[in-house]
Amino acid sequence: MDQLTLLAVAAVIVVVAVTSISDRIGVAAPILLVIVGVGLSLIPGVPTVTMNPEVILDIVLPLLLYAAAVNMPATDFRRNLGATSALSVVLVVVSAFAVGLLIWWLLPDLGLAAAVALGAVVSPPDAVVVAVVIGVLVGWVSIQIRAHLEQPVTSTAISLVVPFLAFMPAEHFEASGVLAVVVAGIVTGIKSPRLLSSQARVSERTNWRTVLLLLEHGVFLVLGLQIAVLVDEVEDAHLSVGDALWLGLLVTVVLFVIRFVFVAPMITVMSRQQERARGKSQWYDDAFQRLEGHPEVSEQRITNLRHMLTRRQADASFFSNEGIGKRGGFVLAWSGMRGVVTVAAAQTLPEDLPYRPQLILIAFTVAVVTLVVQGGTLPLLIRVLGIRGSDEEELQRELTRLINTLTEASVDLLESPTLHRDDGEPYSEKVLEMTKKRTRKIPESVSTETMQIWTTARQEQQELQRKLLEAQQDALLDAQASGVYRSQTIETAQQFLDRRNMVID
């Protein structure tokens, strides 16, 4: 076994072990992994670990960003698109140039371009319009291809190369490969419930969570292993380790101040949006009544308008009841932690860049300080401000309503005169009656832990169950499009259907 293979195996074991321990002791796994990495680097005989910047840029970052983007809730993304764009584009540009100017002022030998590059490292990600087009195209084409693959393993295999299919052409056209990967992931996440089988979705979800775990935590472990070498390189240069750490703390403070100043007016705008949403409740009720008073309008047109009004009313209810106030705005400002993307991006700085070791140490300091200070105190801040999370009982009631809505779709199909077997023959009355009884037995309270999935013993009943689940999937997609239900509720119901589909398949 060569050294690289041995290191890879050891790294996976360490990541899994430390992650399990971190959950028990309540300490962030990245921090523990850095400490473990530093400790391992001090053991005699442990080889020096170096990371090729091209490996980070061309392999690690695309995988990391795609894994995060593919799980983005579509409804939340649409509703928060304005705030998300402001925080991920405008704030990023402002932060990058502000930090760049600060570093350039303190280290004039570095050069403005390199200083701004560091600013971009601690203020990821970036955006270019061309990248959006490439990301949408790659995401759409890949999901269409995967929809025609019968085996979940082949579909998942395609998903593993999608980040690179988006990243490489975007970089070739001098666009943002990072943004192209994110957009491709979002498109895939939105389209997969409609086009992919339940087995393919479950397989993809499991594999990408594994990839995300190993890469996210592996980057921090590698950084810990590199600390000793990094400190030696810093000490050999003109800027000391203490100076680099001090600059890292200064950059952290500057980033927080910029974020706080940026978030304050954004919260004001969102508060006004919340007030406008509260005033539209009666308007939507009247609109639904007016909609019923036009018999000359086609049924399809009425249905489309009803769906549009339902979604807009749900959006208004969301902004009215779950908007971010001043206390939530402070939490949002405090939540600007820098993590694995900052640490990984710092490794992509060119080898011949002046002050490269110091810049990596500065980025590492920013990531660790924000994770420890801001991330570690965030739960306490939320409690002090009196911000409450989602009401578990309300979520339970909402999930029950959604599951019952899905069941109604099955009942409607069972009672439809057009229902027949794949060979054109009708289902036997015995199977229909047995299925109706089981379909109507919906518990009053459903939870993700206690959901029980019934199994079918006969081929005819399995075939019928698949048709029912297809109807429920269509109903779930309609519910998601309406925006009435929370993303958490939609996701739980989707997992409920996926598990039932897996049993039947």
- 110-145 confidence digits (pLDDT tens): 666 666 666 665 555 444 456 778 888 999 999 999
Residues 109, 359 contacting (CB under 8 angstroms): no
Does 227 lie in the same domain as 169?
yes
What is the Cα–Cα distance from 252 to 338, expressed in whole angstroms?
A: 9
Categorise residue 391: left if φ over 0, alpha if ψ from -120 to 50, beta otherwise: beta
What is the Cα–Cα distance from 18 to 28, expressed in whole angstroms?
A: 10
Does 347 lie in the same domain as 410?
no
Residues 341, 331 contacting (CB under 8 angstroms): no
Supply the DSSP string of 226-256, one letter for each residue. Answer: HHHHHHHHHHHSSS-HHHHHHHHHHHHHHHH
Q: Which positions ≥6 away from 249 have C-beta within 8 Å?
A: 365, 369
Choose one of 389, 404, 423: the last residue of a domain.
Answer: 389
Q: Is 215 among the domain residues? A: yes
Q: Which positions ≥6 away from 75 have C-beta within 8 Å?
A: 480, 483, 487, 490
Quote the number of domains for the chain: 3
Does 251 lie in the same domain as 147?
no
Phi, psi for 71 (deg, rounded to 5): -100, 10
Q: Which positions ≥6 away from 212 have C-beta within 8 Å?
A: 64, 67, 68
What is the Cα–Cα distance from 378 to 372, expressed in whole angstroms?
A: 10
Q: What is the average pLDDT across 400-409? A: 79
Determine what percent of the chain is predicted with pLDDT higher than 90: 4
Residues 155, 204 contacting (CB under 8 angstroms): yes
CA torsion through residues 485, 488, 493, 497, sign:
positive
What is the Cα–Cα distance from 240 to 342, expressed in whole angstroms?
A: 22
What is the Cα–Cα distance from 371 to 336, expressed in whole angstroms?
A: 9
Judging by beta carbons within 10 Å of its beta carbon (0-12, 13-18, 19+), is residue 300 exposed, middle or buried? exposed
Task: Name the one residue in this structure whose structure tokens are 């405090």.
Answer: 334
Name which of 3, 12, 8, 14 is nearest 37 in CA terms.
Answer: 14
Least confident span in 107-121, 140-154, 448-462: 448-462
Q: What is the average pLDDT across 235-244? A: 72
Specify the pLDDT at position 454: 40
Is the pLDDT confidence value at 164 over 90? yes
What is the Cα–Cα distance from 484 to 312, expressed in whole angstroms?
A: 9
Task: Name the one residue in this structure whose structure tokens are 């700085």.
Answer: 349
Q: Is 327 among the domain residues? A: yes
Does 254 lie in the same domain as 396?
no
Q: Is 319 among the domain residues? A: yes
Does 252 lie in the same domain as 345?
yes
Most confident of 107-116, 326-335, 348-357, 455-464: 348-357
Name which of 159, 213, 207 is nearest 185 in CA terms.
Answer: 159
Q: What is the average pLDDT across 226-254? A: 78
Query: Cα–Cα–Cα angle for 432, 438, 442, nearest 5°?
Result: 140
What is the Cα–Cα distance from 382 to 329, expressed in whole angstroms?
A: 11
Does 424 lie in the same domain as 379?
no
Q: Is 93 among the domain residues? A: no
Q: Is 304 among the domain residues? A: yes
Does 368 lie in the same domain as 335?
yes
3-state secondary structure of 239: coil
Choose one of 211, 236, 261: the last residue of a domain.
Answer: 236
Does 255 lie in the same domain as 197?
no
Q: Is 109 among the domain residues? A: no
Q: Is 39 among the domain residues? A: yes
Tokens of residue 44, six digits = 């005699």
Name which of 290, 319, 314 is nearest 302 in CA terms.
Answer: 290
| Greater pLDDT, 398 or 455 | 398
What is the Cα–Cα distance from 118 to 365, expressed in whole angstroms?
A: 13
Does 311 lie in the same domain as 263?
yes
Residues 74, 233 contacting (CB under 8 angstroms): no
Q: Is 79 among the domain residues? A: no
Q: What is the average pLDDT across 411-440? A: 79
Categorise residue 386: left if φ over 0, alpha if ψ from -120 to 50, beta otherwise: left
What is the Cα–Cα distance from 485 to 479, expressed in whole angstroms?
A: 7
Specify the pLDDT at position 448: 47
Does 401 lie in the same domain as 321?
no
Report the 10 Å Cβ neighbour count for 372: 15
Residues 38, 227 contacting (CB under 8 angstroms): yes
Residues 448, 495 contacting (CB under 8 angstroms): yes
Which H or E run includes 84? helix 81-85
Does 378 lie in the same domain as 279?
yes
Specify the pLDDT at position 161: 93
Containing structural domain, residue 454: 392-504
| Greater pLDDT, 87 or 497 | 497
- Using 50, 70 and 90 to split pLDDT, how confident is the model at 175? confident
Choose one of 389, 406, 437: the last residue of a domain.
Answer: 389
Does 363 lie in the same domain as 247?
yes
